[in-house]
Amino acid sequence: MRVLKEFTMEGCRVTLFQWNNRYLIKIEAGPMEQTFKVDQFEFAGDDELISLLDETFMKEALARFSDMASSMQSARERLQNHTL
């Protein structure tokens, strides 16, 4: 796996990888991450791949992070209530 680029976008760390004829887009926010895999041959290069990460895409990713945090918090609360 090869790291192509790392940068910050909308407060998230974004890392682009190339691996097995795929691009992997990893978006990290705090302890959570999302990874998207796309066929490398669908894009002309790194710049076109980055253009995929438009405002709407990032807004949706941030909403998923919020859902993920809520799910984790709910699971922790259930665990805590179960062990009391």
What was the pLDDT predicted at 84? 60
What's 42's DSSP letter? G
Its pTM stands at: 0.88
pLDDT of residue 49: 94
Q: Give the pLDDT score at 14.
A: 98
Burial label, 27 (beta-carbon count in 10 A; 0-12, 13-18, 19+):
buried
> What averages of pLDDT result for each successive group of 10 residues across the chain (84 residues)?
96 96 97 96 93 96 96 93 74
